[in-house]
Amino acid sequence: MPGQLPATRPVLPADRVSLVDLLDRVLARGVVVSGELTLTIADIDLVHLSLRALLSSVRPDLFGPDPGADGG
């Protein structure tokens, strides 16, 4: 496949990042574009809103270990 990147094992311990920190970034931030998407932006915003509620009602069982100063 043209442009395919060489495969490798993960080089960063992404599984050690706290889930709260991670979801707050990948769902609330990052580039948002419109266009020929399969999912409307409103759908994601809804997920994010319900997630906010979930995150604020702290569910420790849902969150991964927090390595402290290690964002990946």
Partner 1 sequence: MTEQHATWVYAVVPAFAPVPAVPSGIAGEPVRLVEHGGIAAAVGSVDRAEVGEEQLPRHLRDPQWLERTARRHHRVVSTLAHGLPTVPFRLATVYHQDGGVRQMLARTRQPLLTALDTVTSRAEWGVQVYASTVRQPSPADPVAGEPAGPGTTYLLRQRAQRDQREQERRRIGEAVRQIEAALDRLAVAGSAQPLTGADPSSAGGSLVLNLSYLVDDRTRDEFVAATQRLAGRFAGLRLRVTGPWPAYSFVQIEAAP
According to CB under 8 A, which residues from 53 to 72 bind partner 1?
54-56, 58-60, 62-64, 66, 68-72
The three-point CA angle 9-27-71 to 5° equals 45
| Residue found under tokens 């311990």 | 13
Provide the minimum distance between the beta carbon of 29 and partner 1 in the complex, in angstroms, as a whole number.
Answer: 4
According to CB under 8 A, which residues from 4 to 33 bind partner 1?
4-12, 14-15, 17-27, 29-33
50 binds partner 1 per the rule CB under 8 A: yes
CA pseudo-torsion sign 38, 41, 47, 48: positive
CA pseudo-torsion sign 38, 42, 48, 53: negative
Q: Which residues bind partner 1 (CB under 8 A)?
A: 1-12, 14-15, 17-27, 29-39, 43-44, 47, 50-52, 54-56, 58-60, 62-64, 66, 68-72
